Structure 1
Amino acid sequence: MISRKLAPSLLIAALALGGCAALVDRKATAREDAAATLYPPTGQFVTVNGTRIHADVQGAGPDLVLIHGASGSSRDFTFDLTRRLKSTYRVIAFDRPGMGWSDSAPNTDTSPLGQADLLIAAATQLGATHPIVLGHSYGGAVAMAWALRAKPTALVIVSGATMPFPGDLGLWYKVTSSTLGGHTIIPLITAFAPQSRIDASVNAVFAPQSPPAGYADYIGTGLTLMRDALRVNGRQVNSLKPYVIEMSKIYPDLTLPVELVHGRADTTVPLKIHAEPLSKLLPNATLTILDGAGHMPHHTHPDAIIAAINRAAKRAKQR
């Protein structure tokens, strides 16, 4: 959830510090080591074709998989939503490949379909063969890919980036996904990104609401700022558009129950570009629009998200 607003100031810093690679590396390594100590894995690891996938598993009941968005980790869900759900569901919150504590899979981690393949295999190892799958933001694309690859019981797409969008995503992702940016700008971000800018980025993602108390401390923005995670995130987001263009052509074939939940005030993943057209493509979708809600309704409107999950489970059972 680190804002592209950091890009201009860090581009300037890259020029100023271009000759100080050793200093930057030491500072970045120290911040990464501190983040790893402060925010250790909360769950267990599953190995799929040599790739370790981190999964936080809690509760009992029907299997429910949670897939986080860009620049995030499973901590986005274990902060609060998992606690609300674990008395009803067996909740499996994954770190997507290359994010949080999951390994990167260089040949597949830029593709929502490739990520879905890894998470499906990990879920199968955990005994979840036909779960309800919830995806938030970028994770919505991975959840849609899961449905195209396997047979989940139902989908819940929250603020999902699932449809082709106009234009590109701007300088930030172009820089962080590039080889040059990966070797110059990203180490500077890891080493020197000020906490005030990080906090401002988190606040911007929640707008027009505010993050709940303790959220920024719990999710571990230091994990997001690790060099490898920044590089993977940049590649994943910058390459998303061609995948959703192709995936959207197959969406009408999905007949499983789908609950779409989207904030009307979401400017990160706009309702009119994503959830509304998606609801018209899917033959068995229900769209819930949350007036005044931004991009993080699983935190700002958790009851609406839980209601959507329960509806998805009920509709699947009725089938």
Structure 2
Amino acid sequence: MPLAVKSLILVAVCLVAFWGWTQQRARTHEARAEAAFPPEGQIIDVSGHRVHAVVMGNGPDLVLIHGASGNTRDLTFELAPRLAERYRVIVIDRPGLGYTARINRTGATITQQAALLQEAAAQLGADKPIVLGHSYGGAVALAWAVTRPDHIAALVDVAGAAKPWDTGLSTYYRVLSHPVLGPLVIPLLTAFVHDTRVEQAVREIFTPQEPPEGYLEHIGAGLTLRRHSLRANALQRANLLAEIEALHPLYGTITVPVEIVHGTADTTVGVSIHSEPLAAQIPGAHLAVLDGVGHMPHHSDPEAVIAAIDRAATRAGLRPVD
């Protein structure tokens, strides 16, 4: 056998061995993350789809929708327990993230996600809740209000993606959403990237504020690095701009009370690009602009977010006027 052929065979064997080792490391990392951060709530079956939801408190129904890369733990750290003192709070993992199963292999659209979350909330007894969405979750909440207007009492948008933007998709999301490169790169990230890298990225999202004490230990960074979650999140993010371009002309049809909260220091979702034109488009929408606050108002200024929820509930007739 020629030396060149032997060399090629050796390289192929080494690559196969390395790939198998990588997949094993990835599985070990995922198992460790899930053991350390198991589901916080209950797993329900919604038309054959596995959905993870956390329910707490009593009062008017309030659904909380997390942003990109996250899960229920972002909202159960502080906000949901505080709200549970006077609301029945339902926090739901979006498809492919946390412990809710993926809807498809192409990236669940915001309309598909809104439909699943609305059906899950109804199954939990909340047929017409107040709906709060943060960041990417804000786009899902807007899709809920536009496409399922009979199943929402009020909308609270917190630093939400709402309007088209002109910056391109980052290299990170272009690679991870690519049909060939994504499946090759993602197992490497799961296998070899440490959870502290996710924690550092979270710190950057909070800028100019810092995460509250205990937050990084609560959120379960390893859950974000699971292979199916990285892929689902990347596909959703890659498809988001086109979905918002199709949806945003319909925001003017929203008739429920709308409260919007956004910080001036948000460099992830700019207030002037998203929330200011959104507030101008929806009749009666109220925008609270938080000076110097970054992309995580529900942690950096939870009082402002809770006040917006209370205003939405009052305007919807679900709470008495103070």
Residues matched between the structures, number: 304
Give the 3-state SS of the residue equivalent to 2:40 in structure 1: coil
* Alignment of 1:232 onto 2:232: yes
Q: Is the contact made by 1:110 and 1:240 (CA closer than 8 Å) also made in structure 2?
A: no
* Distance of 1:32 and 1:201 partners within structure 2: 19
**Structure 1 segment 70-219 matched on structure 2, within 5 A:** 70-106=68-104, 109-150=107-148, 151-219=151-219
**Structure 1 segment 283-302 matched on structure 2, within 5 A:** 283-302=283-302
* Alignment of 1:56 onto 2:54: yes
Q: Greater CA deviation, 228-237 or 190-199?
A: 190-199
Aligned amino acid, residue 69 of structure 1: G
* Distance of 2:18 and 2:104 partners within structure 1: 29
Q: 1:284 to 1:187 in 2, by over 3 A?
A: same
CA RMSD, 1 decimal? 1.7
Q: Is the contact made by 1:98 and 1:229 (CA closer than 8 Å) also made in structure 2?
A: yes
Aligned amino acid, residue 90 of structure 1: R
Q: Greater CA deviation, 152-161 or 188-197?
A: 188-197
Ranges of 4+ aligned residues in structure 1 off by more than 3 Å: none
Q: Which consecutive unaligned segments of at least 5 residues does structure 2 have?
A: 1-14
Q: Which has the larger radius of gyration?
A: 2
Q: Is the contact made by 1:108 and 1:114 (CA closer than 8 Å) also made in structure 2?
A: no
Q: Describe the superposition over 1:139-196 as per-residue Cα deviations: whole angstroms up to 9, x where unpaired.
A: 0000001111223110000000111111322211111111223222111111111344
Partner of 2:10: none
Give the 3-state SS of the residue equivalent to 2:317 in structure 1: helix
Partner of 2:12: none
Give the 3-state SS of the residue equivalent to 2:144 in structure 1: helix
Q: Is the contact made by 1:109 and 1:115 (CA closer than 8 Å) also made in structure 2?
A: no
Aligned-residue offset at 1:18: 8.9
Aligned amino acid, residue 215 of structure 2: Y
Q: Is the contact made by 1:68 and 1:137 (CA closer than 8 Å) also made in structure 2?
A: yes
Aligned-residue offset at 1:19: 7.0
Q: Describe the superposition over 1:255-286 as per-residue Cα deviations: whole angstroms up to 9, x where unpaired.
A: 11100000100000111110011111111200
Aligned-residue offset at 1:49: 2.1
Q: Greater CA deviation, 37-46 or 100-109?
A: 100-109
* Distance of 1:107 and 1:227 partners within structure 2: 13
Q: 1:183 to 1:108 in 2, by over 3 A?
A: closer
Q: Between the two proteins, what is the percent identity of the paired residues?
A: 50
Aligned amino acid, residue 167 of structure 1: T
Q: 1:34 aligns with which of 32, 36, 46?
A: 32
Aligned-residue offset at 1:86: 0.4
Give the 3-state SS of the residue equivalent to 2:316 in structure 1: helix
Q: Which consecutive unaligned segments of at least 5 residues does structure 1 have?
A: 1-16
Partner of 1:68: 66
Partner of 2:272: 272
Aligned-residue offset at 1:24: 1.0
Aligned-residue offset at 1:48: 1.7
Q: Is the contact made by 1:276 and 1:287 (CA closer than 8 Å) also made in structure 2?
A: yes
